[in-house]
Amino acid sequence: MRKASVERNTNETRIKVEVNLDGSGVYKVATGIGFLDHMLEQLSRHSLIDITLEAKGDLHIDAHHTTEDSGIAIGQAVYQALGDRRGIRRFASIHMPMDETLTRVSLDASDRPYLIWNVKVPTQRLGDLDTQLFKEFFQAFAQHAGLTLHIENLYGENSHHIVESCFKGTARALREAFEIDARKADAIPSTKGVLAGASALAARGTKDVK
């Protein structure tokens, strides 16, 4: 099974995370930020990636470091668990509805990190969390997981629905892209024979980069 664990300790946060890409969507998440916990639970449940995460951060300042560093740590764990990405379907595109909201998520698990975030959240806060930080989370996650990730909210009014559709859409896209293709389970899904820097797993997967 494709599993990995990461510990990330800085002067701002201390984070432990474990992932199982071949799980059943079991989660145990504690960041100290209620709404972020709720979104990470959605990410796990709908991707079927088991996620255990414990984060202790400088919340007396704000939620920025804890949110971003959680994205980094989950991304690093996913990166390690993917290995050389042999056999994965690699691509996925999802339209995720949630009541009045519709969000499109497209990704390429190519190890060419890039984020397009075309999402406007009407309110400045959800619970205790600044809504600007959702882009920071996805930027950190995409960068360290090695994903080309496009998230676009096509329409919506309710801030909660908009953000939750982004996480659920990403989860479903991850599930599809990370799934092993039975017809090519032994092959790297690229005519190059390698997906970007995935062969440099040891050098990049355990590196703490801010």
Mean pLDDT across the chain:
93
Contact of 167 with 94, CB cutoff 8 Å? no
| Residue 12 confidence (pLDDT) above 70 | yes
> C-alpha angle with apex 190: 189 to 194, nearest 5 degrees?
100
Angle, CA 138 vertex, CA 42 and CA 52 arms, to 5°:
45
Give the pLDDT confidence of 34-90 residue by residue, as tens digits.
999 999 999 999 999 999 999 999 999 999 999 999 999 999 999 999 999 999 999
Domains in the chain, start-ordered, CATH in brackets?
3-205 (3.30.230.40)
Please write the tens of the pLDDT for every residue from 118-169: 999 999 999 989 999 999 999 999 999 999 999 999 999 999 999 999 999 9
Q: List the structure tokens of 56.
A: 């202790």
> 30: closest CA among 47, 46, 44, 16?
16
Q: How far apart are CA 173 and CA 7, in angstroms?
A: 26
Q: What is the pLDDT of residues 21-37, one digit of tens each?
A: 999 999 999 999 999 99
- Say if CB 66 and CB 59 are below 8 A apart: yes
Q: Which residues of 87-101 are buried (b: 16+ CB within 10 A; e: fewer)?
A: bbebebebebebeeb
